[in-house]
């Protein structure tokens, strides 16, 4: 089965940027809708952005204009470029299909926005 591995998280100051990567063990991005999710402490996991096969993307209102989701099917990798980060963006970020499937949840990557 396909495995998804997130990376690229870290500690960044408010206003800073990070680029998250989601590497797949097989070509999944070109055949299904993919998404980035996040879970903040004490909160439910939420969909942040999703990208469909033709490259069109949608975003949750709180990240519109700041985050960009892209994918490179040739590299079996999906990205989330995050700019103008805010403390409320602090969370563990995950990639998965949309809708998500339990078998694809990985460890996620921690993003902490703090001064």
Q: What is the pLDDT of residues 74-92, one digit of tens each?
A: 899 999 999 999 999 999 9
Mean pLDDT of the chain: 94
Q: Which residue has the tokens 């994918």?
A: 71
Residues 67 and 80: their CA atoms lie apart, in Å, by 7
The average pLDDT across 6-34 equals 92
* Alpha carbon distance 52, 98 (integer Å): 9
Instruction: Give dist(CA 106, CA 115) in Å, integer.
Output: 28
């Amino acid at each position: 089965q396909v495995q998804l591995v997130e990376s690229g998280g870290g500690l960044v100051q408010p206003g800073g940027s990070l680029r998250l990567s989601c590497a797949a063990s097989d070509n999944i991005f070109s055949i299904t809708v993919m998404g980035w999710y996040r879970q903040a402490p004490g909160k439910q996991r939420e969909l942040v952005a999703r990208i469909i096969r033709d490259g069109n993307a949608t975003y949750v209102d709180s990240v519109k204009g700041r985050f960009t989701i892209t994918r490179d099917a040739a590299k079996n990798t999906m990205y989330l470029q995050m700019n103008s980060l805010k403390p409320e963006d602090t969370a563990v970020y995950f990639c998965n299909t949309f809708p998500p499937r339990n078998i694809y949840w990985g460890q996620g990557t921690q993003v902490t926005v703090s001064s």
